[in-house]
Amino acid sequence: MSFKRASGILLHPTSLPGPDGIGDLGPEAYRWIDFLYEAKCHLWQVLPLGPTGYGDSPYQCFSAFAGNPYLISPTLLLDQDLLTRFDLIDRPDFPANKVDFGPVINWKLTLLDRAFNNFKNGNFPELQKAYSSFCNLNADWLDDFALFIAIKESQGGVSWDNWPENLRSHKVETLNSFKQMNSDAIEKHKFRQFLFYNQWSNLHKYANSKEIQVIGDIPIFIAFDSADVWANPELFYLDDSGKPTVVAGVPPDYFSPTGQLWGNPLYRWDAHQKENYAWWVKRFKSVLSTVDIVRLDHFRGFAGYWEIPAGMPTAEIGRWAKGPGQPFFDSIKSQLGTLPIIAEDLGEITPDVIKLRDDNNLPGMKILQFAFSATAADPFLPHNYPKNCVAYTGTHDNDTSVGWYNSAPEKERDFYRRYLSRSGEDISWDLIRGIWSSVAMFSLCPLQDLLSLGTDARMNYPGKPSGNWGWRFLPDQIQPYLVLRLKEINSLYSRD
């Protein structure tokens, strides 16, 4: 699939301003799209939009299909009469510049429970009709997810492999009994999904009406403690008690002497192939019904992945295993056609990964922060970019550009200054200009770089288990001059 030359900003909705402790899909999200439109940006990139679990990470979700209920806007529920002003009077005093996840989750779930009760006890014929339609259309994942979360709540939130055996192993009689006794709890979670998808769909349509495409994210691996693994154990390497036998990660490298132990369960690719990759087809369909373009995270795992025996303390002991390769993409294309995919091809990339990417004509990623530690032949330097790539100043996993420059070795800082012919006084915008002026099809930067913020605005530290994903911007940080500056650079480099 060919893309038009364009630019955009990486910003997860949790980072938007708003009164409820976390960014959501309400008025500030619409203002954000207006900003992009005025600045002549045509792309908005988000992180995975699923219901977050361990460490509040959007890359560890309770479902590959469900939406994050914490993103539901109370303001929009107020407009629908699902909440009243009285429901909001006990709102806590949240910090404006970060997400304090514990109190925020308690508050959001309290509000969602109130909205559900108001829905059940009120007169909402049109909404009821839309809700019933949503449940019917999405039953193939929604029923499992709502049941999974309801059981999880009844078990004190523990991982599903610690549930009683009959619940863990899908004993039909036990599950039917649970459904009868907990129908309200199950319904509550279906209703939350309805609210999320209703709000997101409206926001997505608004973005498209402003000629803005949304870039979403599919992590290759999914969380073990998820409805998907619980409901489809035959598709993963699990033992008889439901625990993983091997897990995902990456081996030791220059950045990490012990590698990265992610701990996600690994796919039985042979089982997926026998089903003609039905679960993956469903996953692609689901995500592409909510976004326009997909970044396929850890693309190299489709060629080969690092398999670590379960129980290892680090990722040092493991082996390379063969991924599904070209037959996977052939099957997906035969069922869904050519898809708008960006391949996240960072890290240790081998010839088979490059071949898989190029044989499918997928744009890879270039990170300008990575470009200044070697020579002029470095593939991350703009003069080496192919046209079919997506260039970033940095991503959610990197330091901000100002933070990178402040901590980089002087040799790298000197190379950057000489290469871009700049003094280092405006580092973020130097890097923005560097990728915007390149031949790269898409150029993107995190909002933190647009605002020239330092390390304290960093979104994620890979390998750090907690304290991530909390950064938020303040409304007054988006000033009129920023629109003019971004509009000018989009015009200068034909990205408008």
CATH code for position 272: 3.20.20.80
Per-residue CA distances from 469 to 55, 58, 111, 264, 422 (Å)? 9, 8, 22, 19, 32
171 in any annotated domain = no
Q: Is 344 a catalytic residue?
A: yes
Q: Is 397 a catalytic residue?
A: yes
Per-residue CA distances from 253 to 1, 47, 367, 370 (Å)? 34, 25, 18, 15
Active-site residue identified among 24, 225, 297, 399: 297
The torsion angles phi and psi of 323, rounded to 5 degrees, stand at -80, 180
Active-site residue identified among 28, 56, 87, 344: 344
Q: Name the 3-class secondary structure at 367.
A: strand
Mean pLDDT, rounded, for 43-59: 95
Alpha-carbon span 484 to 388, nearest angstrom? 28
pTM: 0.97
61 in any annotated domain = yes
192 in any annotated domain = no
Report yes or no: 196 and 68 within 8 Å, Cβ to Cβ.
yes
Q: What is the pLDDT of residues 253-298, one digit of tens each?
A: 876 889 989 999 999 999 999 999 999 999 999 999 999 999 999 9
55 in any annotated domain = yes
Task: Grade residue 348 by pLDDT with cuts at 50, 70 and 90.
Answer: confident
Torsion sign across C-alpha atoms 124, 183, 117, 77: negative
Q: What is the pLDDT of residues 418-432, one digit of tens each?
A: 999 999 999 999 999
Task: Grade residue 327 by pLDDT with cuts at 50, 70 and 90.
Answer: very high
139 in any annotated domain = no
Per-residue CA distances from 181 to 112, 230, 246, 314, 477 (Å)? 21, 21, 36, 42, 50
Structural domain for 305, as ranges: 6-71+204-492
Active-site residue identified among 38, 187, 397, 496: 397
Mean pLDDT, the chain, rounded, equals: 96
Structure tokens at 27: 């008025």
Report yes or no: 273 and 281 within 8 Å, Cβ to Cβ.
no
Alpha-carbon span 433 to 416, nearest angstrom? 13
Alpha-carbon span 408 to 369, nearest angstrom? 10
Report yes or no: 54 and 466 within 8 Å, Cβ to Cβ.
no
Task: Grade residue 466 by pLDDT with cuts at 50, 70 and 90.
Answer: confident
Residue 335, amino acid: Q
123 in any annotated domain = no
136 in any annotated domain = no
Structure tokens at 181: 């006794």
Neighbours of 355 (CB within 10 A): 13
Task: Put the strands of the sheet holding 304-309 in their side by side order.
Answer: 260-265, 246-250, 304-309, 319-322
Q: Is 476 a catalytic residue?
A: no
Alpha-carbon span 246 to 227, nearest angstrom? 19
Split into its structural domains, the chain has a count of: 1
Alpha-carbon span 437 to 158, nearest angstrom? 50
Mean pLDDT, rounded, for 21-40: 98
109 in any annotated domain = no
| Whether the predicted pLDDT of 1 surpasses 80 | no
Task: Please tell me the least confidently modeled range out of 132-136, 274-278, 372-376.
Answer: 372-376
